[in-house]
Structure 1
């Protein structure tokens, strides 16, 4: 007993010297009582026992995620999602929303257009000239482009003041451009990619709704026509422009790639959130889904670009683990966006954090001591995991340095700890890529059935994509493509038949193309 007491006091002093906090010291010893045994135990088998626990824990993670990697389970998920998609085409007011864009570009659209992209943190403006897809080069050129930060002060601008701010930024971009300032000419046609909720009433109109993300722009303007509001702000400062099209980011992505490749029928946005767009026959929808539209629209529309709101699907059929349930247990709206919780950059880090903390507390990862910052929800960023997985060096020195700087601890991560973190992140990211693949495959299958396309008549189809996870997370696109290929093969197709393709500058180019389609 005397020796145990001595060991406890020694461990207490060692930990206190490291942390300089009595409370943290007590927590450290409580969470990892093995520290009182000192170096002697490590030499006598403590390290081996801890390594066995870690290996067992990592094996448990692999077992938990295995079912989400197997093709039969992905096929079942795809079928389940397809069933949910079909039901939402009929009566869901939140999902599978038909836009007013009922035609894809022919690829020979030409002209100069002003494109606006209003996001949560930036306002981008570009003057774009379209040449047609058969022309040499990329089919378009950006004549002038500006990016303006939407700072917290700008977000606090109430009502029309925010749109007046937008108009002034447009004027700055067009400064010196005859197209924007010569009032004797026809107005410069504008298209806008709008990343906030609106109730669209025509291709260029939509009723403004709450914007969220700390914006006050909708203050006093709820239910007003967004197109009219922007047009009025531009007119007040003498801008000779005309807003002709409003699209969301997924529709813009589809249009931008369809302008360059006529096989494009889908778009995927996967960054902090997730969404998808798809070009579907109008006969799939109930009449109620279209709301009140002019007869001329219905007469000409055979297909329509659909904002799926993909994030909201998957309830009851996604491959939940205990860590997913732990995430949802503290979520303010656990049932609102089920699929987003599995795949988006806003949640991949949090799922990994929950797994890692459990591994530290129960298996002895990182010396059994949880870095204080990791006790905070959403403190482990997906971007951090992306950088850790990108470090393929033998020493993992960059990964160790990054994690240590982000999450300092009295027991810094070892090389083995970083390998374990990489393994955890890899399981979470691979599962996410499979869920995305199942969603794409479900939409593809649904469209094939609606179009009456048999397995022997399947043709190459592009899925335009952008977003930080798809673009930057190591091997995410590759693993997603691989799982799409497996699912397509299970449906009688060949690998590569459904192909993911990056859509560069999609929000801006898509906004310009939306206007060009109107012009003919």
Structure 2
């Protein structure tokens, strides 16, 4: 049935409000050019004030090659719980045993000594339970808080997040603090050999089974990516270290900050600007705020609020309902709404009921779903543009991208949307695949420890012609 003039006018008004999310291919190609410039600027030894990407060398020089063997511990600390893992490697075979421990709030708000003593005691119990007290155990440490990394096993905490306020840790080397606690509280033979963030762990975990994997991306509450870069391009790297193989290093891009200098303003909508204004970090993490799960739901809510205000949606809605409450429309709702595949809108209706919206119509459900599809498609396309930049930069015929994060895992269309856009944006002839990384924060940390020992021995052979005895003693 043809639309009436009144209906046509209504949908034209809706399109005028949401048109900023429907970007042409040229906009994403422009973003790729800008991102590549920022990647290059971040790798320079003399960085200008306009450089927004940190481009931290992670000191991880190689992905697993399949020769890694032995017993390794992993510690995954990033919230109110932490995990200790025992990872046994034998080439491609891998066995993982783990246990989760709680961090009481009193310790989260106490001192650094209390925190690391608690962690060390739990590691000691775990090692004893697995009858490994006498074993030499290398440990990979996933520490999901902002750090300035100065070595493979040296990282200084920049600031606490996620409700932690432990005194005496900011500015300190977290590996050293853990090492001292292990000496105080246990008699374990544990050596902390690597500290990584979740993006690097994601890459390393996937690379264990796929040698073509040299890019890792997190698409969850936040958004970040890492990739393997040639040392010749890393002008911040110690020149003496460039003499040793391999001549590469994983770079933590911290690309959430892309656009903080205003270069992405041409892509931002009024809703992006409002999200930024009311965030805890205004004018920071511009790229992340257009993609990640922390912000996607709020962008959708602001659009729905605007449509309701303009009487294009929910004609009889109660202005006291949760739809008008900041932060109340969760990103998981976007994934649920986009899971609706028929005219009954079962998931959409459940979300609207949860938001205390009453007297909504089927047409309202269609509009809500339409807004969700536009906001999430832009996020997926922008993430795809970033990955396309890295794929083109590495310029390898066959590339695997390791992906992890709740947004990617649970959104029903994110994977397919990203693949479609990457195919459109990468150089002709370059093949790629997106691979969900399993347990990057645990397995990836242990694999990083295993690789670091292999390279340490290689370096000792190059320098001195022998292998370190204590590394030979790691039990297989």
Shorter-chain TM-score category? 0.7 to 0.9
- Does residue 1:384 correspond to 2:333, yes or no? yes
- Does residue 1:459 correspond to 2:397, yes or no? yes
Contact 2:14 2:312 in 1 (8 A): no
2:112 to 159, 172, 176: 159
Q: Whose radius of gyration is greater, 1 or 2?
A: 1
Unaligned runs of 5+ in 2: 455-476
1:492 to 390, 415, 428: 428
Q: Secondary structure at the match of 1:172?
A: helix
- Does residue 1:469 correspond to 2:407, yes or no? yes
- Does residue 1:307 correspond to 2:252, yes or no? yes
1:189 to 138, 148, 168: 138
- 1:186-227 Cα offsets, whole Å, 9 max, x none, are x2111111111222222112223322222123x123333221
Q: Spell out the pairing of 1:369-448 with structure 2 (5 A cutoff).
A: 369=317, 370-405=319-354, 407-409=355-357, 411-448=358-395
Query: Could you say if the C-alpha distance between residues 190 and 481 of structure 1 is closer, same or farther in structure 2, counting changes exceeding 3 Å?
Result: same
Query: Could you say if the C-alpha distance between residues 167 and 93 of structure 1 is closer, same or farther in structure 2, counting changes exceeding 3 Å?
Result: farther
Q: Secondary structure at the match of 2:367?
A: helix
TM-score (norm 1): 0.80
Contact 2:207 2:213 in 1 (8 A): yes
Aligned to 1:87: 41
Contact 1:110 1:129 in 2 (8 A): yes
Contact 1:266 1:464 in 2 (8 A): yes
How far off its partner does 1:332 sit?
4.6
Contact 1:57 1:363 in 2 (8 A): no
Q: Spell out the pairing of 1:493-508 with structure 2 (5 A cutoff).
A: 493-494=429-430, 497-508=431-442
How far off its partner does 1:304 sit?
0.5
Quote the Cα distance in structure 2 between the aligned partners of 1:59 and 1:151. 49
Quote the Cα distance in structure 1 between the aligned partners of 2:39 and 2:127. 43
Aligned to 1:103: 62
Query: Could you say if the C-alpha distance between residues 160 and 391 of structure 1 is closer, same or farther in structure 2, counting changes exceeding 3 Å?
Result: same
Query: Could you say if the C-alpha distance between residues 397 and 371 of structure 1 is closer, same or farther in structure 2, counting changes exceeding 3 Å?
Result: farther
Q: Spell out the pairing of 1:76-225 with structure 2 (5 A cutoff).
A: 76-90=30-44, 91=47, 92=51, 95-133=54-92, 139-142=93-96, 144-150=97-103, 152-179=105-132, 181-182=133-134, 185=135, 187-217=136-166, 219-225=167-173
Query: Could you say if the C-alpha distance between residues 50 and 254 of structure 1 is closer, same or farther in structure 2, counting changes exceeding 3 Å?
Result: same
Quote the Cα distance in structure 2 between the aligned partners of 1:441 and 1:371. 44
Quote the Cα distance in structure 2 between the aligned partners of 1:408 and 1:245. 48
Aligned to 2:196: 247
- 1:15-37 Cα offsets, whole Å, 9 max, x none, are xxxxxxxxxxxxxxxxxxxxxxx
Aligned to 2:286: 338
How far off its partner does 1:412 sit?
3.6
Contact 2:141 2:196 in 1 (8 A): yes
How far off its partner does 1:373 sit?
1.9
Quote the Cα distance in structure 1 between the aligned partners of 2:40 and 2:215. 16
Quote the Cα distance in structure 1 between the aligned partners of 2:60 and 2:242. 10
Quote the Cα distance in structure 1 between the aligned partners of 2:187 and 2:215. 35
Aligned to 1:510: 444
Quote the Cα distance in structure 2 between the aligned partners of 1:384 and 1:340. 19
Aligned to 1:19: none
Contact 1:53 1:364 in 2 (8 A): no
Quote the Cα distance in structure 2 between the aligned partners of 1:392 and 1:71. 27
2:271 to 300, 323, 343: 323
Contact 1:75 1:438 in 2 (8 A): yes
Quote the Cα distance in structure 1 between the aligned partners of 2:353 and 2:370. 18
Quote the Cα distance in structure 1 between the aligned partners of 2:291 and 2:107. 31
Query: Could you say if the C-alpha distance between residues 427 and 198 of structure 1 is closer, same or farther in structure 2, counting changes exceeding 3 Å?
Result: same
Aligned to 2:471: none
- 1:251-289 Cα offsets, whole Å, 9 max, x none, are 111111112111011000010100000000111122xx2
Q: Secondary structure at the match of 1:178?
A: coil
Quote the Cα distance in structure 2 between the aligned partners of 1:149 and 1:355. 39
**Number of equivalences:** 442
Contact 2:297 2:329 in 1 (8 A): yes
